[in-house]
């Protein structure tokens, strides 16, 4: 485990003297990043599958004469999981600050795998009637509750292990894992859509991606159980045992309200654009633009692959130029290019759709590369997991996870197919203001932690 260099203070040392730096072991850092990223990939594999197979799930669980009503019901169950995420954050976040990041991340992995695996076992509406959508909703609530402690814990874990000057680079691999999970889910759905008939996909094929979550969860759990606690948490825990009482939930909120507001605004633009592009656009292409389902999924799959290639380089860029400029560039890009990009997508040709989606995907990388390092740095070590979990999940629940449902409803109410662009532009304004108000943290120690340097 990475440890701080031993420094014996003299009796003349002032209490405010700078703490000895933590010297990080590159091998341990890479192992921690790999476990967090692979675990995150497993969690988001499910979200990708659910989004890309939403049309089929609507037929299985919400039979109706209206395809739009089916899609709304399916995305309603999708959004319901996000409504319980703040509850999960309020449970797992403070628990992670009290008992450790590694233990809580192992629990969230188990719950997510169980919830996803259970979806693959639920009988259809035709078999058990209204019990089918109720069971689907219950499984989604288990997933949402567990995910409430996942992103904040994984980003905190990587941030506390990484050296200060490479926190952006190492943090970017968390979203690399997210994209890998999405690509795995989208690729599997695309393959099944191409190989199976509509009847086979509706009767039994849709279950396959969810049942895969069982063995994936075992692998992710094994990786996380092999990890040690972060040096920052270990130092804080030792200090807490000597002098400091446990931090109450109220202090995590009221004592950090400025940082929480910044966190929520940054997460808003991050997740609205993320869910718009990666979760909603496949259904938008199929349901609203009548685009071929397989070709639409392949385009999104290509965009995510492009994002994965760029992701580590963009993360390293945030270490050199800072998190604020990269986040601000992404906000400015979405404000200026959302309408032109969506107009390109609406052209309908494969090239136009690819160009429009590709432009939005590259802009989204500004957030996926910067946020895993920027968000944990908003809070001090003793409340980092808890405060970040609360702020992150409240924002995701209100704005991110509801994006597909809200945009589908807005299009249905107005008939305006440009609503996705306007929605992203509004989010970009809020995110741009937050980027202007946040402090630059690139290359600096995490608040409340000793400086972290890489071992030669």
- Reported as a single tens digit per residue, the pLDDT across 20-55 is 777 777 888 888 888 888 778 877 787 778 767 777
Tens of pLDDT, residues 130-160 = 788 888 888 888 888 888 888 889 999 999 9
- Highest mean pLDDT (candidates 13-22, 227-236, 344-353, 379-388): 379-388
pLDDT at 241: 56
| Tokens at 116, concatenated | 């996803």
pLDDT at 372: 94
What is the pairing mode between strands 22-24 and 3-4?
Answer: antiparallel
Vertex 424: Cα angle to 348 and 384 (nearest 5): 135
- Highest mean pLDDT (candidates 139-143, 287-291, 294-298): 139-143
Rounded CA separation 57/451 (Å): 49
- End-to-end Cα separation, the chain, in angstroms: 16
Where do the domains of the chain lie, and which CATH numbers do they carry? Answer: 23-444 (1.20.1250.20)
Do residues 346 and 421 lie in contact, with contact meaning Cβ atoms separated by under 8 Å?
no
Identify the residue with better confidence: 227 or 111: 111
Name the β-bridge partners of 234: none
| Tokens at 331, concatenated | 């906000």
Rounded CA separation 225/214 (Å): 17
pTM of the entire predicted model: 0.85
Q: What is the pLDDT of the chain when averaged over all its residues? A: 83
């Amino acid at each position: 485990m990475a440890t701080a260099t031993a420094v014996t203070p003299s009796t003349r040392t002032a209490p405010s003297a700078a703490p000895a730096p933590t010297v990080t072991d590159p091998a341990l850092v890479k192992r921690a990043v790999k476990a967090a990223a692979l675990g995150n990939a497993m969690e988001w594999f499910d979200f990708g599958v659910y989004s890309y197979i939403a049309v089929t799930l609507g037929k299985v669980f919400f039979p109706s004469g209206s395809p739009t009503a089916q899609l709304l019901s399916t995305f309603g169950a999708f959004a319901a999981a996000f409504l319980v995420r703040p509850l999960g954050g309020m449970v797992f976040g403070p628990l992670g600050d009290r008992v450790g990041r590694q233990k809580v991340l192992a629990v969230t992995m188990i719950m997510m795998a169980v919830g996803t695996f259970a979806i693959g076992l639920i009988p259809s509406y035709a078999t058990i009637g209204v019990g089918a959508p109720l069971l689907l909703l219950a499984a989604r609530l288990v997933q949402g509750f567990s995910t409430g402690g996942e992103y904040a814990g994984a980003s905190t874990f990587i941030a506390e292990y990484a050296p200060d000057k490479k926190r952006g680079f190492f943090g970017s691999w968390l979203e690399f894992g997210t994209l890998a999970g999405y690509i795995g889910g989208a690729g599997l759905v695309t393959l099944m859509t191409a190989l199976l008939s509509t009847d086979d996909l509706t009767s039994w094929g849709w279950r396959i991606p969810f049942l895969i979550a069982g063995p994936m969860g075992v692998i992710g759990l094994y990786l996380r159980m092999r990890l040690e606690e972060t040096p920052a948490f270990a130092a804080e825990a030792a200090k807490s045992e000597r002098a400091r009482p446990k931090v109450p939930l109220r202090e995590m909120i009221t004592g950090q309200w400025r940082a929480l507001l910044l966190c929520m605004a940054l997460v808003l633009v991050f997740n609205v654009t993320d869910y718009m592009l990666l979760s909603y656009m496949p259904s938008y292409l199929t349901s609203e633009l009548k685009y071929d389902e397989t070709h639409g999924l392949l385009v999104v799959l290509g965009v995510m692959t492009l994002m994965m290639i760029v992701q580590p380089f963009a993360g390293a860029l945030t270490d050199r130029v800072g998190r604020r400029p990269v986040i601000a560039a992404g906000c400015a890009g979405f404000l200026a290019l959302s309408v032109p990009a969506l107009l390109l997508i609406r052209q309908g040709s494969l090239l136009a759709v690819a160009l429009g989606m590709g432009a939005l995907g590259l802009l989204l990388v500004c957030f996926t590369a910067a946020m895993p390092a920027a968000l944990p740095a908003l809070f001090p070590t003793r409340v980092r997991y808890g405060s970040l979990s609360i702020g992150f999940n409240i924002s995701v629940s209100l704005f991110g996870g509801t994006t597909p449902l809200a945009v589908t409803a807005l299009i249905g109410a107005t008939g305006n197919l440009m609503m996705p662009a306007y929605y992203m532009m509004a989010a970009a304004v809020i995110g741009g203001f937050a980027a202007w108000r946040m402090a630059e943290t690139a290359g600096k120690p995490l608040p409340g932690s000793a400086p972290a340097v890489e071992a030669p």
